[in-house]
Structure 1
């Protein structure tokens, strides 16, 4: 067999090495913990209801025992208060887990990959659960806006750096 010519038409050699092939499989997805408190139904509300929604998102990732397997947990806290009175309408807390098998991601890039790409893949399922639970709780379905996991990752890095500075001082 003849050797392949790796020069470009203009005579320049193709110097860019091939990027590593990333392989990712979702092995499992499940609700780790779920709590919905319908405070409005328990206590009742006087007057007009004007809900104000607050959404808090936290992420956690850990290596599993099997090779190349990781668990990524999206922790969501959604609270709704009645505007003006500050009376709680409902509180929803959800921990949603995804188990991933990941190959080809360099070690230095694994943490951001786990904290950005994996939650992005499970988010549509989290959104559906939140919508169903709020609807089943007697409220209009809450359809969460898309979450910017890159911004959350950067915030967590900045928070960690700040905590390290305080610890060193």
Structure 2
């Protein structure tokens, strides 16, 4: 197979092509604990925690990948740590990706793809919290590159702590 060159004999970098083919809510749950318990909103100071996890997999069609972003948003009252609400959202995107070298594909899928659909996730979380009886929650922009690096560091530390079996 002939390699493309840029005229100077150096190999040409293949152009990256990325397209969002579809987006969907895979799972959504919202629990308004305040309403369920009949509590009043007097003296409520919410402490909100957002946990994010990501997953990607190859689809049966060439160059297509599915990326799932999972968000768990918990809100507790700062005064007494009483739960206020719990929101869980799994948001999927189907992407057509070409031109990304194999060794860079995993970080590309877990950084660039979630970044593309994040505005839609933010909107859903805002609408659900507002419709659930709370002020709309506009979560901060997520640095998916930092999130990816944290996960790599966590896995590396986990592997170093696991004793190697000798056969």
TM-score normalised according to structure 2 size: 0.89
Aligned-residue Cα RMSD (Å) equals 1.3
Query: Match for 1:33 among 27, 34, 55?
Result: 27
Gaps of 5+ in 2: 1-6
Q: Name the counterpart of 1:22.
A: 16
- Residue 167 of structure 1: how far off its partner (Å): 2.3
Distance in 2, matches of 1:30 and 1:85, equals 36
Pairing 1:51-130 to 2, within 5 Å after superposition? 51-130=46-125
Contact 2:44 2:79 in 1 (8 A): no
**Runs of 4+ with >3 A deviation:** 14-18
- Residue 15 of structure 1: how far off its partner (Å): 6.4
Q: How many residues are treated as equivalent by the alignment?
A: 157
- Residue 162 of structure 1: how far off its partner (Å): 1.4
Distance in 2, matches of 1:62 and 1:129, equals 23
Distance in 1, matches of 2:104 and 2:17, equals 14
- Residue 163 of structure 1: how far off its partner (Å): 1.7
Gaps of 5+ in 1: 1-5, 7-13
Aligned residue for 2:141, secondary structure, equals coil
Q: Highest CA radius of gyration, 1 or 2? A: 1
Cα deviations across residues 98-132 of structure 1 (Å, max 9, x unaligned)? 00010000000000000000000010000000000
- Residue 16 of structure 1: how far off its partner (Å): 5.6
Q: Name the counterpart of 2:150.
A: 155
Aligned residue for 1:79, secondary structure, equals strand
Distance in 1, matches of 2:31 and 2:9, equals 59
Cα deviations across residues 52-95 of structure 1 (Å, max 9, x unaligned)? 10000000001111111100010000000011111100000000
Q: Name the counterpart of 1:3.
A: none
- Residue 133 of structure 1: how far off its partner (Å): 0.1
The 10-residue stretch of structure 1 (42-51 or 19-28) with the greater mean CA deviation from structure 2: 42-51
TM-score normalised according to structure 1 size: 0.88
